């Protein structure tokens, strides 16, 4: 069912410093910051040859990553995003397997303009998983 690893998301307390670490210390190709007000984050994309790292910083009140940064003030890996062909079929299979889909169970339009769902980390060995239909 799951396809490519679309991205690894890392929540960061200082977006400029994190972008500099990936650009200058690790020598990666790093995008300018991109505000995603509908998702409560500002994102910097680290482009690797086979996938992306997304550096996420809270934007506005009620950012979905603010609680994570309160628990992990230095930042850290926040979620993995896997691609799926059919997000409704994936959701129904996951629910039939007993996995919990976060929110109301309906896909939302994610930061890449595509339907996404998040899965409960307790059902996936402590890892928050995003599914994105591609």
Provide Rg for the chain, Cα atoms: 15
Q: CA-to-CA distance for 28 and 72, rounded, in angstroms?
A: 24
* Distance from chain centroid for Cα 122: 17
User: Contact region for a second copy (CB under 8 A) — 17-25, 36-44, 59-67, 108-116?
Assistant: 17-25
Judged by CB under 8 A, does residue 26 bind a second copy? Answer: yes
Binding of a second copy by 51 (CB under 8 A)? yes
Please report whether residue 25 would count as binding a second copy according to CB under 8 A: yes
* Nearest of 8, 38, 33 to residue 20 by alpha carbon: 33
3-state secondary structure of 13: coil
Any contact of residue 107 with a second copy (CB under 8 A)? no
Q: Is 130 a catalytic residue?
A: yes
For residue 59, what are the CA distances in angstroms to 8, 89, 117?
A: 19, 32, 20
Which residues carry out catalysis? 130
Which residues would be at the binding site for a second copy (CB under 8 A)? 1-5, 8, 10, 12-13, 17-18, 21, 24-28, 48-51, 53, 55, 72, 74-77, 80, 82, 93-94, 97, 99, 121-127, 129
């Amino acid at each position: 069912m799951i396809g490519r690893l679309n991205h690894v998301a890392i929540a960061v307390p200082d977006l400029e410093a994190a972008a500099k670490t990936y650009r200058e210390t690790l020598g990666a190709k790093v995008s300018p910051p991109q505000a995603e007000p509908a998702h409560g984050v500002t994102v910097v994309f680290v482009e690797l040859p086979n996938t992306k790292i997304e550096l996420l910083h809270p934007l506005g009140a009620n950012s979905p990553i603010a609680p994570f940064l309160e628990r992990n003030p230095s930042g850290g890996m926040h979620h993995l995003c896997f691609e799926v062909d059919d997000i409704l079929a994936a959701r129904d299979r996951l629910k039939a397997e007993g996995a919990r889909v976060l929110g109301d169970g309906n896909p939302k339009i994610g930061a890449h303009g595509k339907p996404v769902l998040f899965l409960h980390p307790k059902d996936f060995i402590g890892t928050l998983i995003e599914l994105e239909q591609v």
